[in-house]
Amino acid sequence: MQAYVLTAQGLRFDPDYPNPHLRDGEVPVRVLTAGICETDLQLIKGYMGFQGVLGHEFVGIAEDGPYAGKRVVGEINCSCHRCDYCNAGLANHCPHRSVLGILDHDGVFAETVNVPQANLHLVPDNVSDDEAVFTEPLAAAFQIPAQLDLSKFHSAIVLGDGRLGNLCAQVITQAGCDVTVIGKHAEKLRVIDELGIPTAPLSSVELERFADLVVDCTGSPTGLTTAYQLVRPRGTIVLKTTVAGDAGPTLAPVVIDEITVIGSRCGPFDTALKALESNSIHVTPLISARFALQEIERALTAARTAPNLKVLLDVSS
């Protein structure tokens, strides 16, 4: 099959990549559309030391199992379902897990990906492929209200005007918070403005510590430092993105100001699919460009370019 593979020498196209061996409980899924994520860009820089087929955001058609012939999306954590974490309902933190396109498991920048049947979710008929491919990042945004009672927060700031920042802002606004998105890119902020969510360019923001909640979606090592400058004492910071590299800001403000810092990663697919089905979250305005799988080098360049939000790969029809 055709696939894009990350190796120690870099990213390469393989027109005849072998179909991965099916592990117990997995079914093959023919990938229709895939999305490029900030995590993919960080992996290319060396984050996690991953080697294999990149990509984890997808919609496809199951080729076997109870969903055979139907459109599906898939959760990315492939867990053992036997350990204490899995038995406690924390399968996303299974110490034995692999992760699609991120850790010990080939991903979706290929014609076929093998996914555990238990990870698959049917796509509602009224949800398009272009919408369904957002299920994974939208689920990550919905992890915030799964972790926090947002009714206790009045003022909220989302740092970062990119793909995830946009989705987090929509989800937090829907929960009733007074949200402002702060970013560096006028074009991306305009997309959020058009959704009715207030925005501000970072260059014009007075760094006053007033926010009950700050969500860092910057994917930048300076994001947490900016969050410190915006969150009130005893406020909450949610970290939604990862960064390649070991350097980080001091944690002294966390101690001095008794700030709660929460890591937030994968979230509930069922909630995300219901939001897409009801059209309560708008994702298609984020689509900036699309390319064929064979054009992934151009697609990655587009994904790194500031005006673009979401870049899609059309893998198969």
Its pTM stands at 0.94
CB 196 within 8 A of CB 189: no
CB 106 within 8 A of CB 114: yes
| The pLDDT of residue 247 is above 70 | no
pLDDT at site 47: 87
Q: Which whole number is the average pLDDT over 290-301?
A: 95
pLDDT digits (tens, 9 = 90+) for 43-99: 999 988 999 999 999 999 999 999 999 999 999 999 999 999 999 999 999 999 999
Specify the CATH number for the domain of residue 49: 3.90.180.10
| CA distance linking residue 138 with residue 155, whole number of Å | 21
Q: Which whole number is the average pLDDT over 185-214?
A: 95
| The pLDDT of residue 244 is above 70 | no
CB-based burial, 76-111: b 16+ in 10 Å, e otherwise = bbbbeeebebbeeeebbebeebbbbbbbebbbbbbb
176 belongs to a structural domain: yes
> Do both 125 and 24 map to the same domain?
yes
pLDDT digits (tens, 9 = 90+) for 274-283: 999 999 999 9
Q: Which whole number is the average pLDDT over 169-193?
A: 97
> Do both 26 and 65 map to the same domain?
yes
User: Mean pLDDT, the chain, as a whole number?
Assistant: 95
- Based on C-alpha coordinates, what's the Rg of the chain? 19
State how far the alpha carbon of 75 is from the alpha carbons of 116, 122, 176, in Å: 9, 12, 27
> Do both 223 and 293 map to the same domain?
no
270 belongs to a structural domain: no
CB 37 within 8 A of CB 140: no
24 belongs to a structural domain: yes
pLDDT digits (tens, 9 = 90+) for 4-56: 999 999 999 999 999 888 999 999 999 999 999 988 998 999 988 999 999 99
177 belongs to a structural domain: yes
Query: What is the percent of the chain with per-residue pLDDT over 90, rounded to a whole number?
Result: 89
> Do both 108 and 202 map to the same domain?
no
Residue 246: pLDDT band (50, 70, 90) is: low
> Do both 308 and 232 map to the same domain?
no
275 belongs to a structural domain: no
> Do both 17 and 127 map to the same domain?
yes
| The pLDDT of residue 317 is above 80 | no
Domain holding 291, by residue range, is 3-134+283-314
268 belongs to a structural domain: no
In the chain the first and final C-alpha atoms are separated, in Å, by 15
109 belongs to a structural domain: yes
| The pLDDT of residue 243 is above 80 | no
Tell the burial category of 65 from Cβ atoms under 10 Å away from its Cβ (0-12, 13-18, 19+). Answer: middle
